């Protein structure tokens, strides 16, 4: 299956609109649409957000805290993910 099809399938499977996904990853709806049709290369942000990033396979970390976090993120809404990202950024800024 092509990445464009995987993005479309995963987004729809999560009940996300293209707008919700675009808002969550900071891209335009047009860019998401182009990624889903294969007109544009998928961005790493989109692939990571949907758990499709080939560089980090969650199954490689089964049973670890990393894997537990990835599994829990499947149940988090786009709005909640943005809140989590904001908190993480604040924590990183405090620790630098």
Q: Which domains does the chain have, with CATH numbers?
A: 3-94 (1.10.260.40)
Two structure tokens written together for 16 = 């996300």
pLDDT digit string, tens, across residues 9-23: 999 999 999 999 999
8 contact partners, CB below 8 Å, separation of at least 6: 36
Predicted model pTM: 0.56
CA distance 85 to 58: 19
Burial class (CB in 10 A: 0-12, 13-18, 19+), 73: middle
What DSSP state is assigned to residue 15? T
Q: Which segments in the chain show pLDDT lower than 50?
A: none
Give the model's pLDDT for residue 56: 52
CA distance 7 to 48: 11
């Amino acid at each position: 299956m092509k990445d464009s099809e995987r993005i479309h399938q995963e987004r729809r499977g999560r009940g996300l609109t293209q707008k919700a996904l675009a808002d969550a990853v900071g891209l335009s709806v047009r860019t998401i649409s182009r990624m889903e049709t294969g007109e544009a290369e998928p961005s790493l942000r989109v692939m990571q957000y949907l758990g499709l990033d080939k560089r980090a396979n969650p199954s490689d970390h089964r049973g670890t805290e990393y894997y537990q976090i990835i599994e829990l993120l499947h149940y988090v809404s786009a709005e909640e993910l943005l809140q989590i990202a904001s908190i993480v950024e604040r924590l990183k800024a405090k620790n630098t």
